[in-house]
Amino acid sequence: MGFVTASAACAGCGQLFTFNPVRVPSIRIGGERQPICRNCIERVNPIRMRNGLDPIVPEPDAYTGCDEAELP
């Protein structure tokens, strides 16, 4: 049994961060899923709500690791 974390640059701000590769919020750029950091989620949620959209609510473990058995 292993524990998995991923790291990548945020699609919103470019900052390197670690995350749960199964549960991290993401957007599609060029058909590819790109992760979004917690700071960008907090920055974009007020704009989404002003525009009548629901806020993005990350899973509680979106920015931690996961059991390797959860990987697709």
The number of beta carbons lying within 10 Å of the beta carbon of residue 37 is 25
List the domain range (segments joined by +) for residue 36.
Answer: 3-70
The region that residue 30 occupies, defined by phi over 0 for left and psi between -120 and 50 for alpha, beta otherwise, is left
Question: pLDDT, tens digit, for every residue of 11-69?
Answer: 999 999 999 999 999 999 999 999 999 999 999 999 999 999 999 999 999 999 888 88
Q: Half-sphere exposure of 19 toward its Cβ, with a 13 Å CA cutoff? A: 22
Domain count for the chain: 1
Asked whether residue 2 carries a pLDDT value surpassing 90, the answer given is: no
Question: Tokens 């979004």 label which residue?
Answer: 36
Closest of 37, 29, 45 to residue 62, by C-alpha: 37
